[in-house]
Structures are given as structure tokens and as C-alpha cells.
């Protein structure tokens, strides 16, 4: 069994738990499923989008060459800290190693789910997941504020398949690729109900709440975080593979705190006085939308 290692006063997850965390995050986050994570330096990273502005030039023999030119646009990926804390009985300190590992595994699974959901909430909407309000730390670094290419969808009479095609056309019209789509469950349900002229379902693979990994060859994710807090975004299409970046900047840490009121819960009181300890896990992660023109939204029609 792997032993906990120490780094100052912080105990790091055993290696097998870190692997478990990353796998669970990929499995539960739509963005993680559509775009592989990349390591991020703790002090941040700067990516550049690179565009050659003109087409190639035919040059006659002994002819003059003309200027081409290119444009580079920097995008900063600066990691931010997220945390989750939970109080448990101080019997944790006196339990056997196997029992303590059970606690860590349970906490790890819960944190993985919350972290996965949080990545999507922050990158889609720019909110602090716990408070469900806009985060000054995140600012405009989110799809809801950066993606301006939109298709309005009438939820009563609109065709969801046509709306997706129109959104894809916006992206491809700017000579960009579409590598994936994220949709709200309500939009998935509308696609599932579409039928042809003979009453046969156009997307039978979506029946009974199913969400396949791909539709018509396009990787697709259904995620309730897209409609979080009554957002008007019903679907998001674009180049998640090349025009979105995300990743971790530091190993996920677990700290066992025995004294004080570290979660600022006045009602719960002092840990020692309540025979409790607090498990606190932190992660540093960052993301960036490298090219907003590589994405388009299907939004609920205004006024509905």
C-alpha cells in the first residue's frame, strides 16, 4: 500500500488516488471529455494563436515577392485555487491505516465529482460554483461572455437539428473546425423527439435519456451545467480540441486540520471542542478560450 508523503504540513494524496481523481474528472466533465488536460506552470502560461493573414503568392521567374504577414494573439492561462472542506469525527486520527484510507477514498470520490462539475461551471459561465454568482477572479474567462456567435432557438416551434447545423455553419464559415458539442439535457430531449415523415426517430440513440459519445460522428456531451442558473445557452459547438486549453498546475493536496474553525463555520464551532477534524482538499487549475470565433452557441430565443 502506498504511503502518504509529506510536504510541509500538507499530506499529498497517495499516487493511486491522484490517478483516480484525474480519471473521474475526465469522466464527469464535458470539457475534460472533449479536451485533454495539459500541465500548467504554477505561475501561469501564455499560449498564442497564430494566423497567416494572406494566401500563398505565385511569383514569376525573376519576379518580386510581396508581403504576407501573420498575426499572433496571446492568451494567458493563469491557474486559480479551488478548495473543498469537510468535517469528520476525530476518530480518524486513531483509526487503522486501512480505515483512514477508506476515508480518503470517499473524500477523493466526492471531491473528484465536485471538481469536475466545478470546471464546467467556471469555464462555461464564469461563476463561483458554491455561491452561484459571477466570480471576479474568473472575470470574462468563460464561454458565456466570450462567445458572441449565436443562433436563437424557439423552444416551442424551432427545429433543434437545424439550429445545431446553423451554429456549426457559423464556426465553419469563419474557416474553423468543429470537434465537439455540449448540450443541455432539455436540448438533448428535443433532439430525441425528432422524427422523420414516417414517424421514425431521427436520433434513436438519444432515446430514454441516453447520451452517446457521438452523434453523426461528432463527439457530443450532455451536461446540466450548461443550463446552470437559468442560462440561455442550450448548446455549444466548436473546436474544443485546439481552441480550448485547461489543466492542473499543482498536485491535488489533502490537509488534515485538527484545531480552530478553519471553514469559518461559527455554528459548527471549534474542531477540538466538537471532537472533529477537517479534511481540506485544494487544486490549482486554469483554462483559456484561445479563439472565440472557433465556437458558436444555440441560445433560447429572447423573450421566452
pLDDT at 211: 83
Calculate mean pLDDT across residues 166-177: 96
DSSP 230: G
Question: Does residue 225 carry a pLDDT above 70?
Answer: yes
68 within a domain of the structure (yes/no): no
Interatomic CA distance for residues 25 and 39, integer angstroms: 15
- Measured CA angle at 77 (ends 79, 144), to 5 deg: 95
pLDDT at 44: 61
69 within a domain of the structure (yes/no): no
* Domain range for 254: 5-48+74-299
Greater model confidence, 1 or 264: 264
User: Which long-range contacts does 14-20 make (Cβ < 8 Å, 24+ apart)?
Assistant: 14/101, 14/104, 17/104, 17/105, 17/108, 18/251, 18/252, 20/105, 20/108, 20/109, 20/112
Structurally, the chain folds into a number of domains equal to: 1
| Mean pLDDT (the chain, rounded) | 84
DSSP H helical ranges for the chain: 15-28, 30-34, 97-125, 143-146, 160-173, 185-193, 240-243
62 within a domain of the structure (yes/no): no
Give the confidence band of 2 by pLDDT, cuts at 50, 70, 90.
very low
Return the biggest CA–CA distance within the chain: 88
63 within a domain of the structure (yes/no): no
How confident is the model over 281-297, as pLDDT tens digits? 888 899 999 999 999 99
Give the confidence band of 9 by pLDDT, cuts at 50, 70, 90.
very low
Greater model confidence, 212 or 9: 212
CATH number at residue 101: 3.30.2320.10
pLDDT at 12: 56
Lowest mean pLDDT among 90-99, 177-186, 234-243: 90-99
Measure CA of the first residue to CA of the last residue in the chain; give whole Å: 57
184 within a domain of the structure (yes/no): yes
67 within a domain of the structure (yes/no): no
Question: Does residue 168 carry a pLDDT above 70?
Answer: yes
State which of 44-53, 99-108, 268-277 shows the largest mean pLDDT.
268-277
61 within a domain of the structure (yes/no): no
65 within a domain of the structure (yes/no): no
Greater model confidence, 137 or 11: 137
Amino acid at each position: 500500500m502506498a504511503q502518504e508523503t509529506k510536504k510541509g504540513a500538507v499530506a499529498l494524496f497517495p499516487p493511486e488516488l491522484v490517478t483516480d481523481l484525474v480519471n473521474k474528472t475526465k469522466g464527469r466533465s464535458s470539457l475534460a471529455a472533449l479536451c485533454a488536460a495539459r500541465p500548467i506552470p504554477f505561475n501561469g502560461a501564455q499560449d498564442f494563436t497564430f494566423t497567416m493573414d494572406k494566401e500563398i503568392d505565385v511569383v514569376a521567374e525573376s519576379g518580386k515577392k510581396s508581403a504576407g504577414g501573420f498575426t499572433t494573439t496571446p492568451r494567458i492561462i493563469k491557474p486559480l485555487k479551488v478548495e473543498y472542506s469537510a468535517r469528520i469525527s476525530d476518530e480518524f486520527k486513531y483509526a487503522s491505516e486501512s480505515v483512514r484510507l477508506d476515508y480518503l477514498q470517499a473524500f477523493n470520490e466526492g471531491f473528484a465529482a465536485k471538481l469536475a462539475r466545478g470546471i464546467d461551471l467556471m469555464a462555461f459561465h464564469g461563476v463561483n460554483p458554491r455561491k452561484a454568482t459571477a466570480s471576479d477572479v474568473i472575470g470574462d474567462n468563460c464561454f458565456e461572455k466570450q462567445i458572441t456567435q449565436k443562433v436563437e432557438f424557439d423552444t416551442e416551434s424551432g427545429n433543434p437539428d437545424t439550429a445545431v447545423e446553423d451554429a456549426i455553419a457559423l464556426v465553419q464559415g469563419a474557416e474553423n473546425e468543429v470537434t465537439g458539442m455540449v448540450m443541455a439535457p432539455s436540448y438533448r430531449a428535443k433532439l430525441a423527439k425528432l422524427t422523420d415523415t414516417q414517424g421514425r426517430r431521427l436520433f434513436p440513440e438519444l432515446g430514454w435519456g441516453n447520451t452517446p459519445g457521438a452523434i453523426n460522428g461528432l463527439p457530443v456531451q450532455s451536461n446540466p451545467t450548461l443550463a446552470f442558473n437559468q442560462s440561455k445557452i442550450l448548446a455549444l459547438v466548436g473546436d474544443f480540441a485546439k481552441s480550448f486549453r485547461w489543466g492542473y498546475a499543482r498536485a491535488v493536496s489533502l490537509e488534515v486540520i485538527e484545531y480552530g474553525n478553519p471553514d469559518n463555520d461559527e455554528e459548527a464551532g471549534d474542531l477540538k471542542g466538537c471532537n472533529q477534524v477537517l479534511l481540506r482538499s485544494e487544486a490549482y487549475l486554469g483554462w483559456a478560450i484561445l479563439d472565440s470565433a472557433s465556437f458558436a452557441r444555440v441560445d433560447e430565443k429572447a423573450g421566452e
